[in-house]
């Protein structure tokens, strides 16, 4: 442990060289970062940012809905995050009669706020280094030590939960304590024509003109503690909330981003990265085929659009990022640079017999492990991005699980089995799924190893290699009860679980599902073994990198724990002859407007501002007289940072991080200081939309706004 702290201390000597890079651990700000941050422009102390003894900025930052970040912006628990982070919740509350995705929603009083079932936010209580109590123990002793630490932490922090989290590939461990609040209610959202303006076309691109925000409120019991939803609950009185600055940003202004970055791969070797690209290519091919069908059907029918909006958005977001990574890896020679780094590492290793004994073969060991497991990883991706994405199959497998759970009560009513399936059919459109099935099965047959073919599917379709796939899909959807909930309920009507189970066993959908399950169970355990087999080598390699890079800035890979990154407001030049400024204005919305393209429709109530003077925007206008929409910083972010607060030197909210730029899609592997940018929505545009377009002056009144 002393060696690790010595490494951290030495890192202080050179932090200034790359102050814009890093997803830094908050408990180490005082010892590692704050001096450099203050030199760069920060006007806060480390204790004002992170403290467990008094309120600090970290108390205003939450992990939102298991995959994003949000921040508290009033003393009544008001929370702001990205629109795409609130998307699933907004969709859940929407109906064809009240489509909040399309129309937007604003609660003009607390009574109008809408509870969102299943939505959770986590407040960080503390992070404590427990490496000495965890590391170098065998598997059983480690689990036992972790359990004791968690139990003690939860006893010391009522209404909280704790977990031990690994950093630096099992070289460092922290005990992290959270408070979870589950009564969270929708307060406001702009229509998708603002919150998702530009859609997939603009995703990961600059310039952007997207008002990517939504607002929620955290509720608690009358003591301020977490509680399940109840009309008696009251708005949370947070330990800390963010002040909001309307001063805007200028080039080179200091910025901080605090949030929960999800995953980076900055300690992986070249063979691992090459294999990552190969498996992502499988996913890209399948997703493109599926997304084209989804988009076509969604554009035809608003009801279908509502059913598949979230699924489509999540699919395109990942797929486009992976496509960008392929391009960036080639353009920036990421693999070549990683190989050079490894060669330099091995040269350092060879200079010392002790290092040679410990680290000399680790890169070769990783390469061998990757090569041995590449086939099982590819087979797994083909299954889960291919046939497993067929919705009819998913519902059949769900029913199988329900039957297995009822083995002791086969005389019960079969209708009871369908409860778990009913909600899934509310967002199911069979014609879309049928087209997807045909496309994915054809793709799977073309790419998969014949040993993973789905033979003997019934109805005379026995040889997967030669069957007429369109004819098989017609047979499957024409004869399976899983093609609709009505058919399924008719099949179960009046039967016991045993009777229904026997009858449904011959259903073409269940036959297909069980065949797929058989293939998956032949592959997935190998995938799990492959994933685990790398861990010991990765631990040794990362430990070696930490020792080798002593005296250089270092931070662990993102793992969805709270981090801080700092940087500056900056433009960039992606290629020769192209220079992007650091902000966009409302003018760009109307330049992109296309009433025939759902991604670029401009809402009617924004049109009066097309050529409006500065006074029309009120205090939200920039000093140049325009309404600024988005801006760029060089903060180091990744997925999970969506919704993170962008803070100025005084810790005041100036924007929300919501995207990265296309040219730096390799940034999860290597930070690119010249071109990597964090795309942020300007908080002034957010408040303009709330007040001027949404008419929600009640929200504006509860904010702590700092005058220009």
Tell me which residues are annotated as active site: 84, 212, 642
- Cβ neighbourhood burial of 219 (10 Å; 0-12, 13-18, 19+): buried
Q: Which two tokens stand for residue 179?
A: 């408070």
Give the C-alpha separation, 207 to 585, whole Å.
10
Angle at 541 between CA 145 and CA 259, to 5 degrees: 65
Q: Let me know: does 684 contact 620? Beta carbons within 8 Å.
A: yes
Tokens 């002593």 -> residue = 550
Q: Which residues of 235-261 are buried (b: 16+ CB within 10 A; e: fewer)?
A: bbebebbbbbbbbbbeeebbbbbbbbb
Work out whether strand 214-220 and strand 78-81 pair parallel, antiparallel, or are unpaired: antiparallel
User: Residue 34: which of 256, 251, 249 has the closest Cα?
Assistant: 256
Give the C-alpha separation, 677 to 568, whole Å.
10
Q: Give whole-number Cα distances, 332 to 235, 326, 338, 574, 675, in Å.
A: 49, 10, 11, 12, 11
Q: Which two tokens stand for residue 319?
A: 């797929």
Residue 151: which region, alpha, beta or left (left: phi > 0; alpha: psi -120 to 50)?
A: alpha
* Contacts (Cβ under 8 Å, ≥6 apart) of 2: none
Reduced 3-state DSSP string for 279-320: HHHHHHHHHHHHHHHHHHHHHHCHHHHHHHHHHHHHHHHHHH
Phi, psi of 643 (to 5 degrees): 90, -5
- Cβ neighbourhood burial of 361 (10 Å; 0-12, 13-18, 19+): middle
Q: Give whole-number Cα distances, 94 to 89, 98, 182, 195, 274, in Å.
A: 9, 6, 20, 15, 42
DSSP character at residue 413: B
E strand segments, 483-615: 563-568, 572-575, 578-580, 583-585
Peptide bond into 207 cis (omega under 30): yes
Q: Give whole-number Cα distances, 41 to 36, 77, 234, 253, 649, in Å.
A: 9, 30, 39, 8, 6
β partners of residue 80? 71, 215
Q: Which two tokens stand for residue 261?
A: 């970055």
Give the C-alpha separation, 403 to 418, whole Å.
10
- Give the other-Cβ count within 10 Å of 8's Cβ: 17
Give the C-alpha separation, 163 to 479, whole Å.
48
């Amino acid at each position: 442990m002393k060696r690790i702290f010595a490494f951290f201390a030495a890192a202080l000597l050179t932090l200034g060289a790359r102050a814009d890079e890093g997803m830094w651990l908050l408990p180490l700000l005082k010892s590692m970062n704050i001096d450099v941050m203050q030199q760069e422009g920060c006007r806060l102390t480390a204790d004002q940012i992170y403290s467990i003894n008094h309120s600090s900025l970290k108390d205003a930052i939450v992990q939102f809905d298991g995959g994003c970040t949000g921040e508290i912006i009033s003393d009544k628990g008001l929370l702001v995050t990205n629109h795409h982070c609130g998307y699933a919740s907004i969709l859940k509350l929407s109906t064809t009669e009240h489509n909040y995705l399309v129309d937007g929603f604003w609660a003009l009083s607390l009574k109008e706020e809408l509870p969102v079932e299943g939505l959770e936010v986590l407040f960080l209580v503390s992070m404590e280094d427990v490496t000495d109590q965890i590391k170098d123990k065998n598997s059983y002793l480690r689990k036992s030590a972790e359990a004791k630490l968690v139990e003690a932490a939860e006893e010391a922090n009522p209404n909280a939960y704790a977990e031990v989290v690994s950093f630096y590939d099992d070289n460092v461990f922290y005990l992290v304590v959270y408070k979870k609040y589950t009564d969270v209610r929708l307060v406001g959202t702009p229509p998708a024509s603002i919150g998702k303006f530009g859609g997939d076309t603009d995703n990961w691109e600059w310039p952007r003109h997207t008002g990517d925000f939504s607002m929620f409120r955290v509720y608690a019991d009358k003591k301020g503690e977490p509680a399940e939803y109840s009309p008696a609950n009251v708005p949370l009185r947070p330990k800390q909330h963010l002040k909001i600055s309307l001063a805007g940003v200028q080039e080179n202004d200091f910025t901080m981003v605090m949030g929960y970055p999800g995953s980076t791969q900055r300690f992986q070797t070249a063979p691992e990265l090459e294999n990552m690209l190969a498996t992502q290519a499988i996913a890209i091919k399948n997703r493109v085929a599926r997304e084209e069908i989804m988009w076509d059907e969604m554009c035809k029918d608003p009801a279908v659009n509502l059913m598949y909006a979230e699924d489509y958005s999540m699919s395109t977001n990942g797929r486009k990022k992976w496509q960008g990574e392929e391009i960036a890896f080639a353009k920036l020679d990421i693999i070549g640079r990683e190989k050079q780094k490894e060669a330099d590492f091995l040269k350092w290793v060879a200079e010392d017999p002790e290092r040679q004994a410990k680290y000399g073969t680790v890169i070769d060991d990783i390469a061998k492990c990757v090569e041995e497991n590449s086939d099982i990883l590819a087979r797994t991706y083909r299954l889960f991005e291919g046939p497993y994405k067929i919705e009819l199959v998913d519902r059949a497998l769900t029913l199988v699980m329900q039957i297995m759970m009822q083995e002791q009560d086969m005389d019960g009513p079969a209708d009871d089995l369908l409860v778990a399936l009913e909600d899934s059919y509310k967002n199911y459109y069979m014609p879309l799924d049928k087209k997807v099935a045909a496309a994915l099965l054809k793709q799977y047959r073309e790419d998969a190893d014949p040993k993973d073919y789905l033979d003997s599917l019934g109805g005379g379709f026995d040889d997967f290699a030669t069957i007429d796939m369109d004819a098989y899909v017609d047979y499957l959807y024409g004869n399976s009860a899983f093609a609709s909930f009505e058919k399924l309920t008719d099949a179960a009507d009046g039967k016991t679980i045993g009777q229904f189970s026997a009858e449904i066993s011959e259903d073409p959908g269940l036959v297909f599902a069980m065949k797929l399950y058989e293939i998956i169970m032949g592959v997935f355990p190998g995938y799990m073994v492959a994933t685990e087999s790398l861990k010991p080598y990765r631990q040794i390699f990362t430990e070696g990198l930490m020792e080798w890079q002593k005296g250089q800035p270092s931070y662990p890979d993102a793992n969805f724990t709270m981090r801080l990154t700092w940087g500056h407001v900056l433009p960039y030049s992606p290629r020769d002859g192209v220079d992007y400024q650091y902000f966009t204005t409302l003018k760009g919305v109307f330049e992109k407007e296309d009433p025939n393209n759902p991604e670029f429709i401009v809402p009617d109530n924004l049109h009066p501002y097309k050529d409006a003077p500065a006074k029309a925007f009120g205090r939200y206008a920039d000093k140049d007289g325009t309404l600024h929409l988005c801006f760029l910083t060089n903060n180091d972010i990744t997925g999970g940072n969506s919704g993170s607060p962008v803070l100025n030197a005084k810790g005041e909210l100036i924007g929300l991080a919501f995207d990265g730029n296309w040219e730096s899609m390799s940034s999860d592997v290597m930070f690119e200081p010249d071109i990597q940018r964090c795309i942020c929505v300007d908080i002034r545009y957010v408040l303009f939309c709330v007040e001027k377009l949404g008419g929600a002056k009640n929200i504006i009144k509860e904010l702590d706004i700092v005058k220009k």
